[in-house]
Amino acid sequence: MRVAIVIPALNEAATVGGVVAAVSEFGTPVVVDDGSSDRTAAKAAAAGAAVVSHDQTLGYDHALASGFAWADAHDFEVVATIDADAQHDPELLAGLLRPIERGEAAMVLGIRPAPARVSERVFSAYARWRFGIADILCGMKAYTIELYRAHRAVMDLPSIGTALAWAAMRDASRFTTIDVPIRPRQGSGRFGRGLRANGRILRALWFAVRADLLRQG
């Protein structure tokens, strides 16, 4: 099973090399450097990753879209995602990929112990009501390439990495979940703090709700 591990990264030079080295035993690391102003791309390449670079910062969802497109163009069968900030334990990739390898699921979602922000709790409440998912915002997920191909049109939506999962669940794709403990982050979060971060998450929730309403209408 050919696995691409997509790692969106914005100014993560301090951690990206270690993440790349740790995930390499599970697949091919693909770092998408989203217009970093530090040495993120150089550190990723030195650690052995394939690097896709944006000339300017386009955002998390565009970074994922670029990584998935690269994996598809290079004939990978499965795409997993993991954050570049070392908050996810790379060893969890074995459990993340196992249900797909066994043909038990087309998508596997990581579930964190508890949402960090008020907006994440609201988002999680909707996801739980809609599909019984306790957490859809975790950055650790895995998909078959066929699932991606069926729903690639949603990849650029401002969904904080949830649009593909929503689309798959609306189509009743087989999926399962694994628990993903979160390590302390080094430095500031990619979504910022306070009102700005909550606003971005609630905007992503609005797009999810809107898509659900349009689908049912």
What's the CATH code of the domain at 202?
3.90.550.10
Tally the domains of the chain.
1
Name residues whose C-beta falls within 8 Å of residue 154's C-beta, 6 or more positions apart in sequence: 163, 164, 166, 167
Report pTM: 0.93
Please report the pLDDT score of residue 93 as a whole number: 98
Please report the pLDDT score of residue 197 as a whole number: 83
Please report the pLDDT score of residue 217 as a whole number: 44
Backbone angles phi and psi of 212, in degrees to 5: -65, -45
Q: What percent of the chain has pLDDT over 90?
A: 83
Q: Give the residue-averaged pLDDT of 99-103.
A: 98
Residue 157's domain spans which residues? 3-216
pLDDT band at 188 (very low <50, low <70, confident <90, very high): low
pLDDT tens digits, 139-182: 999 999 999 999 999 999 999 999 999 999 999 999 999 999 99
pLDDT band at 193 (very low <50, low <70, confident <90, very high): low
